């Protein structure tokens, strides 16, 4: 073949290659460019983004109020020996401990990772955006449908960003469009607050500064170790000591500060309450303890409620001393929760830890690490044959998705399908003692069944139907005003649901026994004045005077700073109700009736209002 022809062929191939590369590059470029939304559909997209951002704010608030969790970790009860469950009830909100001691005296941690928080927020948004209501646009002639959503969130120090894949199919008159991807972002310090919280928790777990403050409190406010000149026995009431310790802990914990610029000390003595050797903090940090929270307290030696120290010098043969003295040394166990809060005027991140002193010594420090996502190895080994049937409460077959849970690992098993009048799944499951079969079906509450899978077995899971109810709130007999919103929580043995009204006006309930709590807030601007007090105690005098029982008074200034409330609690209460399936099947609306609360004027008033809510009863009506 002539050389000229070969060169021509090569040139053609080069041209074709250039065109292919150019086409691919152009396609990639077009894909990366933002989709131009037709003008008539722009209001729909703007509303949708606004709805997502509102849900992001709700999710961020949940993460902050529940220690970095939206879906709470598995609940673990306490015991009479160690009265701490895995969660602290804080003003009606269950907040998982980042560190606690279980009922069988095992130290446990459940510190969330930032990646775990992002995943929980993404899962929350995928469910919540289904509640975005396009009714206003549909009334104006729009036809709107939305495909399944997939959301990825990123929590930054000052913002939260969401990337949403949720096809919006839009039609109006002769125009139509499909908007497949969306971007949303909100201003939020949850990421920054989490990092501060993590550093505080790491320092506590490593250095046990809260335990060291507790030891000082015990030595100042309880009979500890001393020698006193006396010829009479000394006695103390164990209950009185416990009451004094709780009061002292409440005051001293509230006085603790982290090295930073968010406070001013009235005197150099107050430096005692500043936790040093930390990065400087420029956000507000609170340490809280309530005397109503569970506390472990014990002291040895004691006889029932009495601590007693006998004098030395009155015994036969010891008259040569010429004086009597009482010597005592008591050993204490003390454990209690502390809530740590990082906040500004708009947002809050809080997490509790258990502080523990055992036999006059701080507990051992432990290494703290956030919970990371790990590969589920258990699911690779499905060895046991299992026949699973799913029915409803009327014994009718229900097709359901089946999962298997062993400890904290969850495996997909399959789906039951109706055949010859039964919803059956024959499948293999991992081997586990005390595992759970978990069934989910549309229109039904999740159902669990505990089962051992070390050998083949059959299981029948009963699913309870969910009933969708409209929710209406009344405060003091009148419908909730436009300036108010309510947070209502329904807690049963199976799950817990919280709705923020009026953003959410529907709830799905199943039959069961519920603890129901409601808090009503209204928009406003109230300046709560600062609260100052002084805590004084008698301490042994320095030098030889302390040996002879001389004491001096030592006082500490405690100041709670002024605060500005923009969300003012105006009503609330709680109740317990057993709601039957019959009540739900006949109802379309759930009405909640709460009492009106007095307007707080200072921080103490605010505490009293919340205490009043705890003792107030709300009314529930299904109609």
Q: What whole-number distance in Å separates Cα of residue 202 and Cα of residue 275?
A: 13
Angle of helix 209-221 relative to helix 190-207, nearest 10 degrees? 60
Nearest to residue 197, comparing CAs of 373, 368, 372?
A: 368
Contact yes or no for 36/85 (Cβ under 8 A)? no
Average pLDDT score over residue span 180-207 = 94
* pLDDT score recorded for residue 64: 96
- Top mean-pLDDT range of 35-44, 196-205, 233-242: 196-205
CA gap 526, 520 in Å, rounded: 16
Pairing of strands 484-491, 87-90: unpaired
With cut-offs at 50, 70 and 90, classify the pLDDT of residue 482: confident
Residue 233 has a pLDDT of: 65
For 383-392, what is the mean pLDDT? 92
Q: How many Å apart are CA 560 and CA 424, to the nearest integer?
A: 62
pLDDT for res 19: 52
Reported as a single tens digit per residue, the pLDDT across 142-174 is: 888 888 889 999 999 999 999 998 888 888 887
Q: Which class in CATH covers the domain with range 378-463? A: mainly beta
pLDDT at 400 over 70: yes
Q: What is the predicted pLDDT for the residue at 503?
A: 82
Tokens of 189: 């310090």
HSE-up (13 A, CA, CB side) for residue 55? 26
Q: How many Å separate Cα 236 from the centre of its chain?
A: 40
**What is the mean pLDDT of the segment spanning 410-436?**
89
Instruction: Return the pLDDT at 563.
Output: 57
**Residue 69 CB: number of other CB atoms within 10 A?**
20
Distance (Å, rounded) from C-alpha 552 to C-alpha 539?
6
50-54, 132-136, 230-234, 565-569: which is most confident: 50-54
Q: For the packed helices 42-65 and 114-128, what is the interaxial angle rounded to 10 degrees?
A: 130
User: Could you give the 3-state DSSP secondary structure of residue 289?
Assistant: coil
Give me the helix-helix angle, 42-65 and 190-207, nearest 10°.
20
Q: Which residue has the higher pLDDT, 232 or 140?
A: 140
Q: Which helix (H) or strand (E) holds 339?
A: strand 331-343
Task: Please answer whether residues 357 and 331 qualify as being in contact, where contact means their C-beta atoms are separated by less than 8 angstroms.
Answer: no
Question: Quick check: 490 and 507 in contact, CB under 8 A?
Answer: yes
Predicted local confidence at residue 594, as pLDDT: 92
Q: Which residues contact 17 (CB under 8 A, 6 or more apart)?
A: none
pLDDT for 291: 93
Q: What is the pLDDT of residue 319?
A: 41
Residue 539 has pLDDT above 70, yes or no: no
Question: Which residues on adjacent β-strands are paired with residue 527?
Answer: 564
Map 553-576 to HEC letters.
EEEEEEEECCEEEEEEEEEEEEEE
Confidence of residue 551 (pLDDT cuts 50, 70, 90): low
Mean pLDDT of 227-245: 79
Where does the pLDDT of residue 376 fall: very low under 50, low under 70, confident under 90, or very high at 90 and above?
very low
C-alpha distance across the termini of the chain, in Å: 93
Cα distance between residue 438 and residue 589, in whole Å: 29
φ and ψ of 487, to 5 deg: -115, 115
pLDDT, tens digit (0-9, with 9 covering 90-100), for 488-528: 888 888 777 777 788 888 888 888 899 988 888 887 777 76
| Percent of the chain's residues with pLDDT above 90 | 42
Is the separation of the CB atoms in 38 and 177 below 8 Å? yes
Residue 12 has pLDDT above 70, yes or no: no
Count other C-beta atoms under 10 Å from residue 289's C-beta: 21
What is the rounded (10 degree) CA torsion for 419, 422, 427, 430?
170
Tokens at residue 480, please?
Answer: 């909730």
Close Cβ partners of 302 (under 8 Å, ≥ 6 residues apart): 238
Residue 487's pLDDT is 81
pLDDT of res. 5: 46
373 confidence band (pLDDT: 50, 70, 90) = very low
The tens digit of pLDDT for each residue in 23-37 reads 444 434 333 344 567
Q: Is the dihedral of CA 606, 611, 612, 618 positive or negative?
A: positive
Judged against a pLDDT cut of 60, whether residue 224 lies above it is answered with yes
Confidence band, pLDDT 50/70/90 cuts, at residue 322: very low
Q: Which of 217, 218, 244, 162 is nearest to 331 (CA)?
A: 218
pLDDT surpasses 70 at 175: yes
> Mean pLDDT of all residues in the chain?
83
Which one has a higher pLDDT value, 309 or 119?
119
Map residue 483 onto helix, strand or coil.
coil
For residue 566, the model assigns a pLDDT of 65
Instruction: Determine how many CB atoms are found less than 10 A away from the CB of residue 125.
Output: 24
Least confident of 171-185, 428-442, 465-479, 486-500: 486-500
Q: Is the pLDDT of residue 178 over 60?
A: yes
Dihedral angle of Cα 232, 233, 239, 242, to the nearest 10 degrees: 90
Of all helices (H) and strands (E), which one includes residue 384? strand 382-392
Closest by Cα among 412, 415, 408, 392 to 465: 392
Kind and range of the H or E run holding 187: strand 175-187
**Measured between alpha carbons, how far is 388 from 435 in angstroms, rounded to an integer?**
14
- Higher local confidence (pLDDT), 303 or 587: 587
Residue 148 is predicted with a pLDDT of 85
Tokens (6 digits) for 481: 């005003």
Backbone Cα Rg of the chain: 32
Task: Collect all residues with Cβ–Cβ distance below 8 Å to 193 and sequence separation of at least 6.
Answer: 64, 283, 342, 343, 347, 348, 349
CB 353 within 8 A of CB 328: no
Is the per-residue pLDDT at 317 higher than 50?
Answer: no
For residue 328, give both structure tokens: 């005592």
Count of CB atoms within 10 A of residue 547's CB? 14
Query: What pLDDT score does 564 carry?
Result: 62
The proportion of the chain whose per-residue pLDDT surpasses 70, expressed as a percent, equals: 81
Residue 333, classed as helix, strand or coil, is: strand
User: Does residue 233 contact residue 301 with C-beta atoms inside 8 Å?
Assistant: no
Separation of alpha carbons 445 and 165, rounded Å? 27
Q: CA 181, CA 367: separation in Å to the nearest integer?
A: 42
**Do 253 and 291 form a contact (C-beta atoms < 8 A)?**
no
| Consecutive H or E run containing 462 | strand 457-463
167: nearest Cα among 150, 153, 192: 150
- Say how far apart CA 336 and CA 253 lie, in whole Å: 11
What helix, strand, coil percent values describe the chain, rounded to 5?
A: 25, 45, 30
Task: Over range 273-293, report the average pLDDT.
Answer: 91
């Amino acid at each position: 073949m002539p050389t000229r022809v070969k060169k021509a062929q090569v040139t053609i191939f080069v041209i074709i290659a250039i065109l292919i590369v150019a086409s691919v590059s152009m396609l990639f470029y077009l894909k990366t460019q933002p989709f131009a939304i037709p003008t008539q559909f722009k209001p729909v997209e703007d509303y949708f983004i606004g709805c997502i951002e509102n849900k992001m704010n709700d999710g961020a608030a949940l993460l902050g109020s529940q220690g970095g969790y939206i879906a709470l970790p598995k609940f673990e009860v306490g015991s009479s020996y160690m009265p701490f469950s895995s969660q602290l009830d804080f003003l009606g909100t269950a907040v998982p401990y980042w560190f606690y001691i279980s009922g069988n005296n095992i130290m446990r941690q459940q510190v969330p990772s930032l990646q775990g928080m992002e995943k929980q927020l993404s899962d929350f948004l995928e469910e919540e955006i289904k509640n975005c209501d396009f009714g206003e646009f549909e009334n104006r002639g729009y036809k709107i449908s939305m495909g399944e959503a997939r959301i990825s969130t990123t929590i930054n120090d000052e913002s939260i960003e969401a990337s949403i894949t949720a096809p919006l199919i839009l039609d109006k008159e002769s125009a139509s469009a499909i908007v497949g991807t969306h971007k949303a972002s909100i201003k939020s310090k949850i990421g920054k607050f989490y990092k501060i919280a993590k550093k505080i928790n790491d320092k506590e777990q490593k250095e046990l500064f809260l335990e060291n403050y507790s030891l000082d409190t015990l030595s100042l406010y309880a009979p500890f170790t001393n020698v006193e000149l006396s010829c009479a026995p000394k006695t103390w009431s164990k209950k009185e000591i416990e009451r004094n310790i709780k009061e002292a802990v409440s005051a001293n914990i509230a006085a603790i500060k982290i090295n930073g610029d968010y406070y001013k000390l009235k005197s150099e003595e107050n430096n005692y309450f500043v936790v040093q050797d930390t990065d400087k903090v420029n956000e507000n940090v609170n340490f809280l303890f309530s005397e109503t929270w569970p506390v472990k307290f014990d002291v040895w030696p004691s006889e029932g409620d009495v601590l007693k120290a006998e004098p030395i010098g009155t015994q036969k043969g010891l008259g040569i001393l010429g004086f009597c003295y009482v010597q005592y040394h008591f050993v204490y166990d003390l454990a209690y929760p502390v809530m740590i809060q990082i906040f500004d005027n708009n947002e809050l991140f809080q997490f509790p830890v258990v502080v523990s002193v055992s036999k006059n010594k701080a507990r051992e420090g432990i290494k703290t690490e956030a919970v990371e996502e790990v590969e589920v190895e258990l699911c690779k080994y499905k060895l046991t044959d299992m026949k699973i049937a799913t029915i409803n409460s009327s014994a009718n077959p229900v097709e359901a998705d089946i999962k298997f849970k062993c400890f904290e690992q969850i495996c997909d098993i399959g789906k039951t399908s109706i055949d010859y009048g039964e919803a059956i799944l024959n499948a293999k499951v991992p081997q586990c003692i005390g595992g759970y079969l978990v069934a989910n079906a549309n229109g039904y509450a999740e159902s669990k069944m505990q089962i051992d899978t070390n050998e083949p077995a059959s299981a029948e899971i009963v699913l309870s139907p969910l009933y969708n109810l409209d929710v209406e709130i009344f405060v003091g007999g009148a419908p909730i005003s436009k300036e108010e919103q309510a947070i209502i929580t329904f807690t049963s043995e199976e799950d817990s649901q919280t709705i923020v009204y009026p953003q959410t006006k529907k709830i799905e309930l199943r039959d069961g026994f519920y603890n129901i709590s409601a808090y009503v807030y209204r928009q406003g601007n109230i300046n709560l004045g600062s609260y100052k007090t002084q805590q004084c105690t008698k301490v042994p005098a320095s030098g030889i005077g302390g040996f002879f029982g001389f004491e001096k008074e030592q006082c500490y200034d405690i100041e709670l700073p002024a605060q500005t409330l923009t969300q003012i609690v105006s009503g609330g209460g709680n109740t317990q109700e057993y709601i039957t399936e019959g009540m739900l099947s006949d109802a379309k609306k759930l009405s909640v009736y709460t009492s009106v609360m007095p307007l707080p004027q200072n921080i103490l008033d605010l505490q009293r209002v919340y205490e009043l809510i705890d003792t107030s009863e709300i009314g529930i009506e299904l109609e």
